[in-house]
Chain A
Amino acid sequence: MSASVASGPRPRRLTPGRIGLYAFLLTAAVFFLLPLWIMLITSLKPMEEIRLGNILALPAAPTLEAWSKAWSSACTGLDCNGISVGFWNSVRILVPSVVLSIALGAVNGYALSFWRVKGANVLFGVLLIGAFIPYQVFLYPLVRIFSQMGIYNSLACIVLVHVIFGLPTMTLLFRNYYAGIPIELFKAARIDGGGFWTIFLRVMLPMSVPMLVVATILQVTGIWNDFIFGLTFAGRENLPMTVQLNNIVHSTQGERAYNVDMAATMLAALVPLVVYFVSGRWFVRGIAAGAVKG
Chain B
Amino acid sequence: MATVTVRAAATGAAAPAARPRIGRGLPAALALVPTALIVLVVYVGCMLWTVRLSFTSSTLLPKFDFVGLAQYERLIVNDRFVVSAQNTVIFGVLFIAGCLVLGFLLAVFIDQRVRGEGAFRTVFLFPYSMSFVVTGVAWQWFLNPGLGLEKLVRDMGFSDFTFDWLVNQEMAIYTLVIAGIWHGAGLTMAILLAGLRGVDEDLWKAARVDGVPPWRYYLSIVLPLLRPMVVTATVLLAISVVKLYDLVVAMTGGGPGIATEVPAKFVMDHLFERNNIALGTAAATLMLVTVVIIIAPWIYARYVRSKGRR
Contact = CB atoms under 8 A, between A and B. Distances in A.
Interface in A125-148: 126-130, 132-142, 144-145
A272 B131 CA distance: 8
B209 interface: no
Interface in B34-89: 34-36, 38-39, 41-47, 49-50, 53, 62
Contact of A140 (B23, B281, B299): B281
Contacts of B46: 137-138, 141-142, 145
Interface string A214-243: 000000010011111000100000000011
Interface residues of A, number: 113
B239 A115 contact: no
B245 A141 contact: no
B2 interface: yes
Interface of A: 1, 3-11, 21-22, 24-25, 28-29, 31-36, 38-39, 42, 50-51, 54-56, 104, 107-108, 111-121, 123, 126-130, 132-142, 144-145, 164, 167, 171-172, 176, 179-180, 183, 186-187, 190, 195-197, 221, 224-228, 232, 242-243, 245-246, 249-250, 258, 261-262, 265, 268-269, 272-273, 275-277, 280-285, 287-289, 291-292, 294
Contacts of B137: 245-246, 249, 261, 265
Nearest to B135: A35
Contact of B246 (A42, A138, A227): A227
Contacts of B1: 1, 3, 285
Contacts of B117: 6
Contacts of B32: 108, 111-112, 117, 120, 123
Contacts of B242: 134
B308 to A, nearest CB: 16
Contacts of B14: 172, 176, 292
14 contacts: A4-B197, A7-B197, A55-B142, A123-B36, A129-B299, A133-B43, A136-B268, A138-B46, A196-B23, A243-B133, A249-B137, A249-B140, A277-B126, A285-B2
B211 to A, nearest CB: 13
Interface in B129-168: 129-135, 137-142, 147-149, 151-152, 155
Given A132-B239, A196-B28, A38 B138 contact: yes
Given A31-B182, A108-B32, A134-B264, A196 B25 contact: yes
A179 B190 contact: no
Interface string B115-126: 001001111111
Nearest to A272: B129
Contacts of B171: none
Give the bracket for the number of chain B residues in contact with chain A: 35 or more
Contacts of A289: 5, 9
Contacts of B109: 21, 24-25
Interface in B172-227: 182, 186-187, 190-191, 194, 196-201, 204, 208, 214
Nearest to B246: A227
A232 B35 contact: no
A113 to B, nearest CB: 7
Nearest to A273: B129
Give the 8 A-B residue pairs with the shortest CB-CB distance, closest first: A225-B131, A115-B28, A196-B27, A276-B129, A141-B46, A130-B43, A115-B23, A288-B6
Nearest to B25: A196
Given A9-B112, A245-B137, A284 B123 contact: no
A51 to B, nearest CB: 7
Contacts of B38: 164, 167
A114 B23 contact: yes
B277 A140 contact: yes
Contact of B23 (A10, A104, A190, A272): A190
B97 interface: no
A171 B129 contact: no
A290 to B, nearest CB: 8
B138 A36 contact: yes
Contacts of A287: 128, 187, 190
B208 to A, nearest CB: 7
B92 interface: no
Nearest to A250: B253
B93 interface: no
A29 B124 contact: yes
A218 B140 CA distance: 27
A24 B124 CA distance: 13
Given A141-B45, A284-B125, A291 B191 contact: yes
B240 A187 contact: no
B19 interface: yes
A7 B110 CA distance: 10
Nearest to A280: B122
A246 B128 CA distance: 19
